Amino acid sequence: MHRDLKPENLMLKSKKKMYSVKIIDFGLGTFVNVKEFLFKRCGTPGFVAPEVILHGKTKKYGSKADIFSAGVIFYILLKGSSPFPSNDFRKVLKMNKACRIDFSGFKDFSPATVSLLK
């Protein structure tokens, strides 16, 4: 698993193929089946899954942590803003950990789009 998915770690393979995305920077990446993670709590606040932040207080996390990060990226692509809006690092981390996301601004999107996002 990557554990630090964010827009800065996504690149387009080609200008001609806008759908061809490559994931880069596997510096925090690890295999899911290792006995113990080298870096337990890692990632970028605002993109990291709550279970990664809470690691040690909850059970071990897995590859679904990357799905959460992909969902945050999808949210930003749809709405143009973060689900955890703040310029304060600690506040972003606190909101990210609590994971209370406001979906009220998605009324113009189809129910299927909102369902996929959730």
| Best CATH choice for the domain 40-117 from the list 3.40.309.10, 1.10.1060.10, 2.70.98.70, 1.10.510.10 | 1.10.510.10
Residue 105 has pLDDT above 70, yes or no: yes
**Amino acid of residue 17:** K
Kindly state the tokens that stand for 85: 């809006």
Using CA atoms, how far apart are residues 49 and 44, in angstroms rounded to an integer? 9
For residue 65, the tally of other CB atoms under 10 A from its CB is 22
- Residue positions counted in the chain: 118
**Amino acid of residue 57:** K
4 is catalytic: yes
Kindly state the tokens that stand for 45: 């606040």
Residue 38 has pLDDT above 80, yes or no: no
Could you tell me the pTM of the whole model? 0.89
Using CA atoms, how far apart are residues 114 and 118, in angstroms rounded to an integer? 6
**Amino acid of residue 66:** D
